[in-house]
Amino acid sequence: MGREAEAPGQDGRLARTVYLDPDPDPGSASAEAAMAALDRQRARLESQLEDLRERKNSMSDAEYQAELETILVQLARIAQKIRTRS
């Protein structure tokens, strides 16, 4: 069964990376492969972001900020590529 939206739970990390696409847009096999690769990169970066957030208390602020910036810039670049291909 489900939970209240604000209730803590174990599925948050997975739920942020998985979604259902109700109306997939058919395209060429190479375009679909490129989008799939971008989605995998995005998911990998989001996982790294979650890991970083979990390690935040064991890092110096400068270390955390440097790693955070690196991941967020990479995520922004991937998001831009996804938007231009959509």
pLDDT digits over 43-74, tens only? 999 999 999 999 999 999 999 999 999 999 99
Q: Token pair of 31, please?
A: 């375009």
Computed on alpha carbons and rounded to an integer, the radius of gyration of the chain in Å comes to 16
- Give the Cα separation of 35 and 38 in Å (integer): 5
Contacts of 79 (CB under 8 A, 6+ apart): 42
**In this predicted structure, what is the pLDDT of residue 81?**
92
Q: Which pLDDT does position 17 carry in this prediction?
A: 61
The answer, as to whether pTM is greater than 0.75, is no
